[in-house]
Structure 1
Amino acid sequence: MRITSSRFARAFAAGALLLAALAPLPAAGQSIDRQFRAWLDADLWPAAQSNGVSRATFDEAFRGVSPNLKLPDLVLPGQKPQTPKTQHQAEFGSPGNYFAENTVRGVSAGGRARAGAHARTLSAIEAATGVPPGIVLAIWGRESGFGRARISYDAFEVLGTKAFLATRKAMFREEVLAALVMAERGRIPPRSMKSSWAGALGQPQFMPSNYLKYAVDGDGDGRADIWTSEADTLASIGNYLKAHGWVRGRDWGFEVTVPAAVSCALEGPDRGKPIADWARMGIERVGGRPFPAHELKGEGYLMMPAGRNGPAFLVTPNFYVLKDYNESDLYALFVGHAGDRIQYGDRTFSNGWGAVTKLYRSDIAAMQRGLEKLGYDVGGADGLPGFRTRRSIGDWQARNGLAPTCFPDQTLVNRLR
């Protein structure tokens, strides 16, 4: 079909208007790639230069790098942050799902299998940091499958994308600058710096800023290589926990039975008391074993991740050091539990995880907002029932003549939303 110049001009103009309407970006018609490159030169490069990074290192780090728009939690230029529909409709599952026996046993068996080969390194780490071998091995296993996990993302693609487009730009800006400092200091060539989709590096899954602060040489070669050196990985994990306050000689916690007379609303790191006081209230270690004598005067905290619907624990300050590694009660509990199984043998929790009413995270968030309206501090209406939400539920139940369970269910959602 022959098209005249005027018809071509009209067709071109119409096509241009259509493309403009479909484009995700406002103004100027710049592609995200071009905006990304402009941001690198005008914003990130001056900050990197002020941190001692050379132009050669900077250019090599971002050679061929474009924003990865498949990463989660991104906000494109001109858009506003939104809660993803899949998250809004995500089912809330039992905390017990986190402790699938094949997963826990994989970490505990893998840790025991490696304990002998690394005995000298682990002994040196415990002497230097106070962190027992089981805990170090459990973190290694949980984070990277003892180094077997495939960690294949380009760190500068991930960190650069998130520093430019993520909902938490400021945090990722600090991390990409730390990664550039790592490259400048010769820790690892930029193109060899592989990360998770969240930007975490190597076998212990350190963010770059944590690498600069806590990575150490465990094999005596003068380098802190958390990618290929198992000794450096283990030593770096121990050093991280020590720096975050690991208390030498104390355990992480104990599974316990909590009598009905002791309210589950007493949970939380701000409601601690000596373990001897908890024992006088009737809280007992499972299996009838006494609490170690050296722990009785130490501070302990009630932790009931499923309220009355699952196992209960008295945890020590070391539990919250584990939580510093990954901001999750369940993560810290997994590591403590797997660490015990590595050192003392495979024992499952004595109490099982109860069934959970089918709820969506949006249901729990609505319940949390209802509790907030009543003056409760639930730690934010995010659809995740942390300890502040759990104890708020228990307190509200007790005030309304209900047996406290400290855990959400459909009845509570219906009454409180």
Structure 2
Amino acid sequence: MLRIAVTAALTLLLAAAARAQDVPFETWRAGFEVRLAERGAPPEVIASMMEGLEPDMRIIERDRTQPEHVRPIWEYIEGAASPARVEAGRAAQAEHGAVLAAVEERFGVDADILTAVWGLESAFGEIQGDEDVVRALATLAWEGRRRNFAEAQLFAVAEMIERGLARRDELKGSWAGAMGQTQFIPTTYLETAVDFDGEGHPDIWQSEADALGSAANLLRREGWRTGEPVVVEVALPEGFDFAAWNERERKPVAEWGLAGLTRADGGEWSADALYLDTRLVIPAGAEGPAFLAFANFDALMGYNAATAYALGVSYLAKALDGGPSIRQSWPVDNPPISHSETRALQEALTALGYDTRGVDGMAGPNTRAAIRAFQEDHGMAPDGYAGRQVYQAVMARAAG
């Protein structure tokens, strides 16, 4: 069994190597050294980055191989706001309360939100990643699929080292180049990281103050609005017109209220909230919970562009403050389909006349629009959710 496992792993690595561009790593490295010099990087910085640098084939495989099964959003949120994480978050707040209060005072970002971001990004600083960021980014740049991104990050690394913001040996993080307690990529570090503790440079690895201040600065840059809500669970009226719903459309809370939406907790909206623009988020289809997402929710998505992440942060923050969990039940009998099933769904939808504009295994806006058109034509709530039920309906129609 061990020999089979090793052989399988070797096969994956060789396949990853075959997908890399037909250029030796040494050739890419030599060319990149020239471009670093042309950008003015000092010789000692270039030497520190390039000395003994080799590709890491594990990085290519991780980049190229996405998990086959899509984790249901309810499992992600349950893990994000688990009792253990809430307990750890409260302990972190007790230890670093003065710093959190000072960061909130300066940037206007709620301390519970900052704690939740900190918890999801690095388990409150405990899990920051131990990959060599330069080696990881160099591997991605050589492989080619994300070359522009990876090389931009490497140029930023050179600037970081030249300015004395970090030593070469300190640059540890994730396989994709995210670093520190806030998991910033190098360009984000240069643009957003702050020296909150005043010790000379932004240290998002060892300084909780710098890490939290940097996260708050990023959220403020992404449009955080002090004192405004983040997300509120709502109940849809019976007979809600999903066909008229546009997932990107923003309306004042009062207008959603006129359409029959109410707070899931039965409470009343504040007078100020009624005039705030929101968009309706229905992440698991018509049978699952619905939410009004405010500008601060979109600021969280500027940190990580995933609805699950923004909801996870939001509900961990609520839990830290003793707030409620999500009230409405999730459609556990209608989970999201896998990537290969999504590809099959896209092919079937397109063959039936509902063009998904590509087959990539990702249920993006074009695929969701095609799903909604199919659902509307076949008596289903047109929510665009790529779940088990619509998959079975489409495949049955395609086979029939």
**How far apart are the structure 2 equivalents of 1:102 and 1:238?**
19
Among 45, 56, 59, the residue aligned to 1:68: 56
Q: Report what 2:215 is aligned to.
A: 237
2:261 paired with 1:272: no
Q: Is the contact made by 1:53 and 1:184 (CA closer than 8 Å) also made in structure 2?
A: yes
Among 320, 325, 343, the residue aligned to 1:348: 325
TM-score between both structures, scaled by the size of structure 2: 0.85
Q: Report what 1:47 is aligned to.
A: 35
**How far apart are the structure 2 equivalents of 1:103 and 1:253?**
15
Among 240, 243, 247, the residue aligned to 2:225: 247
Q: Is the contact made by 1:265 and 1:406 (CA closer than 8 Å) also made in structure 2?
A: no
Q: Report what 1:8 is aligned to.
A: none
TM-score between both structures, scaled by the size of structure 1: 0.82
The alpha carbon displacement at 1:256 in A equals 1.0
SS in 2 for 1:71: helix
Q: Report what 1:198 is aligned to.
A: 176
Unaligned residue ranges in structure 2 (runs of 5+): 1-14
Deviations 1:120-151 (A, max 9, x none): 32233223322111111111100100111152
Deviations 1:18-37 (A, max 9, x none): xxxx9x779xxxx97xx322
User: Equivalent residues in 2 for 1:123-272 (5 A)?
Assistant: 123-149=101-127, 151-265=129-243, 268=246, 270-272=248-250
2:286 paired with 1:308: yes
Q: Report what 1:17 is aligned to.
A: none
Task: Pick closer, same or farther for the CA change 1:166–1:267 going to 2, 3 Å.
Answer: farther
The alignment of Structure 1 onto Structure 2 pairs a total of residues equal to 377
Q: Report what 1:411 is aligned to.
A: 392
**How far apart are the structure 1 equivalents of 2:37 and 2:363?**
43
User: Equivalent residues in 2 for 1:370-409 (5 A)?
Assistant: 370-371=348-349, 381-386=359-364, 389-390=367-368, 392-404=370-382, 406-407=384-385, 408=387, 409=389
**How far apart are the structure 2 equivalents of 1:388 and 1:108?**
37
SS in 1 for 2:60: coil
**How far apart are the structure 1 equivalents of 2:173 and 2:181?**
10
Q: Is the contact made by 1:367 and 1:416 (CA closer than 8 Å) also made in structure 2?
A: no
Task: Pick closer, same or farther for the CA change 1:356–1:94 going to 2, 3 Å.
Answer: farther
Q: Report what 2:27 is aligned to.
A: 38
Q: Report what 2:12 is aligned to.
A: none
Q: Is the contact made by 1:267 and 1:303 (CA closer than 8 Å) also made in structure 2?
A: no
**How far apart are the structure 1 equivalents of 2:196 and 2:292?**
33
Deviations 1:242-274 (A, max 9, x none): 111112222111011112322345555531111
**How far apart are the structure 2 equivalents of 1:110 and 1:377?**
47
Q: Is the contact made by 2:349 and 2:394 (CA closer than 8 Å) also made in structure 1?
A: no
Task: Pick closer, same or farther for the CA change 1:119–1:92 going to 2, 3 Å.
Answer: closer
Cα RMSD (Å)? 2.8
**How far apart are the structure 2 equivalents of 1:386 and 1:350?**
27
**How far apart are the structure 1 equivalents of 2:81 and 2:51?**
39
2:109 paired with 1:121: no
2:99 paired with 1:99: no
**How far apart are the structure 2 equivalents of 1:267 and 1:104?**
32
**How far apart are the structure 2 equivalents of 1:139 and 1:55?**
38
Moved more, 43-52 or 278-287: 43-52
Q: Report what 1:13 is aligned to.
A: none
Q: Is the contact made by 2:80 and 2:312 (CA closer than 8 Å) also made in structure 1?
A: no
Moved more, 401-410 or 249-258: 401-410
Moved more, 221-230 or 288-297: 288-297
Q: Is the contact made by 2:60 and 2:139 (CA closer than 8 Å) also made in structure 1?
A: no
Deviations 1:190-231 (A, max 9, x none): 122101111111110000000000000111212100000000
Task: Pick closer, same or farther for the CA change 1:274–1:357 going to 2, 3 Å.
Answer: closer
Moved more, 224-233 or 239-248: 239-248
Unaligned residue ranges in structure 1 (runs of 5+): 1-21, 76-82
**How far apart are the structure 1 equivalents of 2:320 and 2:54?**
43
Among 259, 263, 283, the residue aligned to 1:281: 259
Moved more, 355-364 or 44-53: 355-364
Among 46, 51, 75, the residue aligned to 1:58: 46
